[in-house]
Structure 1
């Protein structure tokens, strides 16, 4: 996934109403700041390109979620799984068939399982 994910930020200074999500998304894609700046990954070339054209049709869907804040991810920093720089902390390679565990994030499910088993004994 290296090079295939980018974070982009655009401002919005109006009240958002979930029942008007289609209007919100269409207004976003028609915004003169978005059209020349929004980066998309091209299916054909695999290169990042700008939107560069007006969107004619959209479909917005509700994504069910229980976490509405990025503070949810703060625990990854607090538990020394992710460094302040945002890089995932590496660890010595180990195998958990068939997976290679090479960083603290991949090791997390095993740590949680061990903690849970320790509490059950």
Structure 2
């Protein structure tokens, strides 16, 4: 066990199918995500409970094994080790209670998507660095959208919704989809592979075991450096997914890069 009662970490040689799948890799390339996304898993030594999230994340981003091996994408492309230990961290709990893709059925029911999956278009607008040319991106980014309230504020904080938002918005050089199905199938695959679930012994219903945290790390001057200096950009993110039974923590990190602007 790590000295002083701290959490200790060891990098695992774990791969994820969605990072190796040819079809998904092609989509990541199309959406401007390829080369700007990293996924790694570490094993930790102590029992974890959700109330310990701040100590856990601080220990994680100060651990010498982590700082020397945790890969941080660059907005110019490529991956490099974080290197620096955090002076402080933020760790926001992200709910992940939704386990059915039926969550997105209302995209069709509310008229953002046709029955055949085609996404309804709209006049081009430019918001927060993103080109908006369809009703889904408009719903995600513009309060003026007739569909902005299709999902409640609480639902928009769900990890499943955030993953959907991330793949739809993509990177700086993103070719958007005309059909919603590639987004949904990719999100489903990522979600299933990242989260740990089990059946409730009484109800037989599936329950998510993983605890998900969106994290940032600050240096001694109080400046954010991980996952990116621009911590306010919606496409700069690092999620820690903690499996308390296996004592694994998986890091999904992305930095918005490759922008032509």
TM-score range, shorter chain: 0.5 to 0.7
Q: Gapped runs of 5+ residues in structure 2? A: 1-32, 102-115, 122-176, 186-261
Report the number of matched residues: 83
Secondary structure at the residue paired with 1:3?
coil
Higher relative contact order (CA 8 A, sep 6+): 2
TM-score with structure 1 setting the length: 0.55
**For the structure 1 residues 47 and 66, does the alpha-carbon distance in structure 2 shift closer, same or farther, using more than 3 Å as the test?**
same
How do residues 68-87 of structure 1 correspond to structure 2 at under 5 angstroms? none
| CA distance in 2 between partners of 1:58 and 1:25 (Å) | 7
Map 1:70-109 → 2, pairs under 5 A: 96=118, 97-98=120-121, 99-101=177-179, 105-106=182-183
CA distance in 2, matches of 1:107, 1:23: 34
Is residue 29 from structure 1 mapped to residue 61 from structure 2 by the alignment? yes
Q: Per the alignment, do residues 106 and 13 of structure 1 end up closer, same or farther by CA in structure 2, a change over 3 Å counting? A: same
Report if the CA contact (8 A) 2:35-2:77 is conserved: no
Equivalent residue in structure 1 for 2:97, among 25, 44, 66: 66
Cα distance, 1:100 vs. partner?
2.5
* Shift of residue 9, structure 1, vs aligned partner: 1.0
1:35, 1:54 within 8 Å by CA — same for their partners in 2?
Answer: yes
Q: Distance in 2 between matches of 1:63 and 1:4?
A: 22
Paired residues of 1:21 and 1:60 also in contact (CA < 8 A):
yes
1:50 to 78, 81, 102: 81
Q: Which residue of 2 aligns with 1:80?
A: none
Query: Whose strand proportion is higher, 1 or 2?
Result: 2
Deviations 1:54-95 (A, max 9, x none): 11110111111215xxxx69x9xxxxxxxxxxxxxxxxxx98
Question: Structure 2 CA distance, aligned partners of 1:24 and 1:50?
Answer: 20
The Cα of 1:107 is off from its aligned counterpart by 7.7
Larger Rg: 1
C-alpha distance in 2 between matches for 1:66 and 1:48: 31
Give 1:81's aligned residue: none
The ranges of structure 1 where at least 4 consecutive aligned residues each deviate by more than 3 angstroms after the TM superposition are: 104-108
- Calculate the aligned-residue CA RMSD, in Å: 2.9
Q: Deviations over 1:43-63 (max 9, x none)?
A: 4x3331111111111011111
Contact 1:101 1:107 in 2 (8 A): no
Please state how far the C-alpha of 1:13 moved relative to its aligned partner: 2.4
Q: Distance in 2 between matches of 1:31 and 1:107?
A: 36
**1:85 is matched with which residue?**
none
Secondary structure, aligned partner of 1:16: coil
Q: Deviations over 1:3-32 (max 9, x none)?
A: 222211111121112112110001111112
